[in-house]
Structure 1
């Protein structure tokens, strides 16, 4: 496989969107955001309208990373294009940026980060529909992502069934007792070096090359997700554990649990029953036990009455990283099932 960029059979447009909802956000992050929109082969030669698939990223993901090229692997921009070049029914693919100073937004509205869920649903979707020949209907609109992006892909159709009728989640954050709780002790141990103060760690992290200390990734995840799930009204992130002992703070931890997709299904049963296509997968040795989270999410969908023929569930031999080769598989599957 050659290590250089290849010419797409479709077209990728790079835009900048000026967001009113992200203006004056709590972290002072830019309210002008990049947005990439891919149109499939044949788009410019016809008046056809197309389904749309929205692609969101994992924690610390930002839009330009979609163009990163790893040895012996093509980036998703190219493997997605190859899906449609091979004859899969065309879709418009929308790559959304939701980066924050903390490395991510979890695609939720929060006083700690900003209104990223509303940005996605109430600004980006209408922006794309107004400028591209989409089929502007939930039955023709899907959302997909990996890790935190997979979490966003699970919760967004539950919260906005009027907009999204299909999803794909690759190792999405779920079953929080397993994916988050084990890191409480690791984080508390790491905070011993900072007098048990995560803001002291944050100041140190920002003053040196990032990820040069062993627990940087764990502490960044705890601080960043706290800013999304458990910020106080003034925007201060509240950790879900005691900084000295690592013991859960039950009231704060409960706020995190309320965002667990596994727990959310029962309260959004009507929304999930209305989904026309759901792809769920994860690696069997996922370091955050998201294979078990995937199984739990699948079980809750079944309990809520989602028919088996609408769900693709698969566990495969892998950990949490290096699973980008899965993305074009779910894209092709969704493209076949969205309404046209």
Structure 2
């Protein structure tokens, strides 16, 4: 794609107060600047459906706008699809749910803050008040990749009254396969820092170039903060790891807390199955070469959904976990068609 061929979408930025996030345990900013894509015919009068795009771990909504040579950003992709008549005009909101630990998993946590409540009870109403939206569940969708895909799927199960359609791209699921394999690598890194999360985070945050080999520990710290917070401790030690750092043995009590967030476990509960059945579109996909074994988790989830008569669309493609935002060119047209009706 040449420079002349790029489509430059209309992007605005909204400052959202973040009342829900005020006083969060990590002292992360409560006010967040949110990028929003406005469709071509947006004129402040006509109303449009809304897709909320949830970023993956260690990313914010602004990452959807990242320039990459030879590849469209997600807003550019949407603008091109609309121009080609392949996608209905929609507003796209790209939330910022970043934390000091690299992400929130879009859950309420005593270790990071109430990001689930922020999204559902504060951000969505704020967008509906500020922009010309079709402010009803049937005109609202969620989409995301990796942690964002997990967030989209879980929020749909937890808040069926808010969202009518979702797309989960390579979303975290089957924690036994996607998180547990990282326990030994994380334990080795933590041992290097004398078992101190504070020592690790201090070094990681001060490094001008973040050591990629230590990302496994950062990832598990963020997951522990989301799934097994410890309100009795202060940051950055305010979470409980699901394994013994010395022996690397899983700690069943804590691990079971993690599993309560796992979509392949959540789908075993009738209330969540009912929520999924209420969706007008449930779209999932994953690369067959995913480094985090998410293709297996997605296959398990899809098989369970089929067993429980939950209508869904599941696709696989030949690729790994990274740099697969091009898959939004499949989900965005499908989501927009559903929520524009």
| Alignment RMSD | 1.7
Cα displacement (A) at 1:203: 2.1
Specify the alignment match of 2:90 in structure 1. Answer: 91
Specify the alignment match of 1:264 in structure 2. Answer: 266
**What is the DSSP-based 3-state SS (H/G/I as helix, E as strand, rest coil) of the residue aligned with 2:20?**
coil
- 5+ residue gaps, structure 2: none
Q: Which residues of 2 match residues 121-136 of structure 1 at below 5 A?
A: 121-136=120-135
CA distance in 2, matches of 1:35, 1:5: 27
Q: Which residues of 2 match residues 1-340 of structure 1 at below 5 A?
A: 1-3=1-3, 6=6, 8=8, 11-44=10-43, 47-87=45-85, 88-212=87-211, 214=213, 216-234=214-232, 236-267=238-269, 268-307=272-311, 311-340=312-341
Cα displacement (A) at 1:107: 0.3
Cα displacement (A) at 1:190: 2.1
Contact 2:156–2:163 (8 Å) recurs in 1: yes
CA distance in 2, matches of 1:245, 1:213: 24
Cα displacement (A) at 1:240: 0.6
Deviations along 1:52-77, one digit per CA (max 9) or x if unpaired, are: 11001000002332222122112112
Contact 1:171–1:290 (8 Å) recurs in 2: yes
Greater Cα shift, 176-185 or 127-136: 127-136
Cα displacement (A) at 1:92: 1.1
Distance 1:213 1:59, change over 3 A: closer
Greater Cα shift, 131-140 or 314-323: 131-140
| TM-score in terms of structure 2 length | 0.93
Cα displacement (A) at 1:280: 0.5
| Residue-pair matches, total | 334
Contact 2:64–2:74 (8 Å) recurs in 1: yes
Contact 1:185–1:247 (8 Å) recurs in 2: no
Contact 2:7–2:80 (8 Å) recurs in 1: no
Stretches (4+) displaced over 6 A: none
| TM-score in terms of structure 1 length | 0.94
Cα displacement (A) at 1:299: 1.9
Contact 1:154–1:169 (8 Å) recurs in 2: yes
Deviations along 1:200-228, one digit per CA (max 9) or x if unpaired, are: 222221232242262x1101001111111
Distance 1:292 1:41, change over 3 A: same
- 5+ residue gaps, structure 1: none
Greater Cα shift, 162-171 or 189-198: 189-198
Contact 2:6–2:72 (8 Å) recurs in 1: no
Distance 1:114 1:4, change over 3 A: farther
Cα displacement (A) at 1:115: 0.6
CA distance in 1, matches of 2:5, 2:60: 19
Deviations along 1:254-303, one digit per CA (max 9) or x if unpaired, are: 11111001111122111111011011111001000111111112122223
